[in-house]
Structures are given as C-alpha cells and as structure tokens.
Homo-oligomer: A and B are copies of this chain.
Amino acid sequence: VTQPIETWLAEKKRLVDETLERSLPPADTPPATIHAAMRYSVLAGGKRIRPVLAIAAAEACGADATPFLQQLSALELIHTYSLIHDDLPAIDNDDLRRGRATSHVVFGEAMAILAGDALLTEAFSWLSHPAAGVDPKDQLRAVAVVAQAADSRGMVGGQVADIEAERNHGGGMDLLRFIHENKTGRLLTASLLLGGILAGADEKKLAALEQYGRSVGLAFQIVDDLLDTEESAEVLGKTAGKDAAQGKLTWPGLVGAEAARREVARLLDTALGSADIIGGPKNYLGALGRYICGRRN
C-alpha cells in the first residue's frame, strides 16, 4: 500500500459521497417530501464504512471499483434505512443521529417510515443496475448476497433480537453474539463480498473476504459498545451513555472493558490474516481493519 490510510479513506469517502449525491433522486422530484427526506438522512454525513469496505475488497481483488460505485454505494442506502427505522418512536425512539435531528422529528413518523422503505427499495434498484464489465451472473449473485444479509435471518433479525433482549432486560453472551453478528456483522460482511464478487474474485478470495468481514464486523460492534461508555454525544453525533442507561446488552457490560478490548485485538488479528490471504498490490484491508478497531467515533 502506498498511501496513509487516512488519505485513502478520505478519497474513497468523497467518491461515495459524490455517488450518493448524484444518484439519489433530486429533492424536487415529485413527490418532493419523500425525496427531501431520503436525501436528508443519507447526506447527513457518516463514515460510509460499508461502501468503503466494498471498494477496499474490490481493489484488493485487483479491480478498479469506479464502474460499479453506484452498486457499492447502495449499501449506504440500506444502512441509512435501518437507522431511520431503528430511531422511530415505536422502536428506539431516538431523536439525534449523526449530529442531526432524526427523520421522524423533521418529517413526521409516516414520512420517516416511507423514506426508509424507499431507501431500501432504491438500494435494490442501484444494485441491479447493470455494471459495466461485470458478468450479469456475478451481479445477480451479489444482489442475492446483499438481500440475504439484510433480511429477517440477517440484519432485521438482529434488530428484532436486540429489541426483544431489551424488553426482557437480559440475556447472555450467546444472545449478544447473535445480535452483533446479525444486526451489524451480516451487512458488513456482505459489503466485502459485494466488492469481491463485482471484482470477479475467485472462491478462495471470497472465502477470505467473508472471514475478514465476520471478524471486522464483530470488532466494529464491540468498539461501538466501548465508545458508547467512553465518549460524549458531541464526539459520537448521537445520544451517548444510552446503552448503560437502558440496561442494554453490550460486550463490555458482559465481560468488562478490558476483556472487550482483548476480543477486539483478537478479531483484528484474524482479519489481518484474511487480508494477507487476499494479498495483491492495492490491498488496504489490513490498514482499514486497524483503523476500524482503533477509531474514536
């Protein structure tokens, strides 16, 4: 690798931001309210970690991701829809996200529900838009991988388990692992596979990307748990200390902060091993894993 990870990250984030801005329906497309609501939440900033991981996977597998940036950016639409719906009064009832008022606070509950629905649907429109130079068979497989990761046995299932754990005030490590692996882990893993599949990677590299994704995905969520206890709302751009206040199941809550940090280190090691298997001259996966595990917001 030839650039510092911060430079590489900033450049890729900019590409994703530009793609989102350009590819979302303009705010004056009728009906204007829904398009304003979609753009409000997607263009609120955010780390764009899922599309960036997908770009890293594609580049590590030897492809230029430029021809399929729109397909990779669809991951951010799915992530954003899940945040809008999670924040709803009937679910987490949160009114601050990415440092801004949440969708239902600004646009009302009905429009927030529909903006989430529209973003999820738009994501599959982008994912199925033919990508230049990609075998349609591979692209169809990629669409299926993302759909399965986001469905009731994946991301939505993780969210359901999270809600039920909160209502039941408890659960142990098995349940927490199920929640983390599904609520965040599955879509993060699918992001790497999406990049790899569109890059035409072979099955051995795809298996390594999947292993990398599982490790970084779980580490990402444990770091999130740690940050909630350690950082302010100002740094996080969302309500802080909420997990403990709600008696929420978290990794440091179950095993303590020290053991949680050791688990992050162990997962990072596994991820670095998988990144090495993929190899290649433009492989930022290792640096990206280190960055994610060391982040402060």
Which residues of A come within 8 Å of B, CB atoms? Answer: 25, 29-31, 33-35, 38, 81, 85, 88, 90-91, 108-111, 113-114, 116-118, 120-122, 124-125, 128-130, 135-137, 139-141, 143-144, 147-148, 150-153, 156-157, 159-161, 163-164, 178
Q: Residue on B with the closest CB to A111? A: B160
Q: Are B122 and A121 in contact (CB-based, < 8 A)?
A: no
Q: How far is the CB of A193 from chain B (nearest CB, A)?
A: 14
Interface of A is mostly: helix
Q: Are A140 and B151 in contact (CB-based, < 8 A)?
A: no
A246 vs B108: C-alpha distance when bound (angstroms): 20
Q: Are B151 and A125 in contact (CB-based, < 8 A)?
A: yes
Given contacts A85-B113, A85-B117, contact A147 B125 (CB under 8 A): yes
Q: Are A151 and B114 in contact (CB-based, < 8 A)?
A: no
Given contacts A31-B161, A90-B109, A140-B139, contact A25 B153 (CB under 8 A): yes
Q: Are B128 and A160 in contact (CB-based, < 8 A)?
A: no
Q: How far is the CB of A5 from chain B (nearest CB, A)?
A: 32
**A-B residue pairs in contact (CB < 8 Å), sample of 9:** A25-B153, A31-B152, A91-B114, A118-B151, A118-B157, A122-B147, A122-B152, A125-B147, A136-B139
Question: Which of B30, B128, B152 meets A157, CB within 8 Å?
Answer: B30
Q: How far is the CB of A122 from chain B (nearest CB, A)?
A: 5
Q: How far is the CB of A27 from chain B (nearest CB, A)?
A: 11
Question: Which of B128, B135, B148 meets A144, CB within 8 Å?
Answer: B128
Known: A38-B152, A120-B120, A139-B140. 6 other contacts (CB 8 A): A35-B152, A114-B159, A124-B124, A128-B147, A130-B140, A143-B143
Residue numbers in B under 8 Å from A147 (CB-CB): 121-122, 124-125, 128
Q: Are A91 and B120 in contact (CB-based, < 8 A)?
A: no
Residue numbers in B under 8 Å from A143 (CB-CB): 124, 128, 140, 143
Q: How far is the CB of A183 from chain B (nearest CB, A)?
A: 11
A6 vs B161: C-alpha distance when bound (angstroms): 44
Residue numbers in B under 8 Å from A139 (CB-CB): 136, 140
Q: Are A25 and B121 in contact (CB-based, < 8 A)?
A: no
Given contacts A113-B113, A122-B151, contact A140 B128 (CB under 8 A): yes
Q: Are B29 and A153 in contact (CB-based, < 8 A)?
A: yes
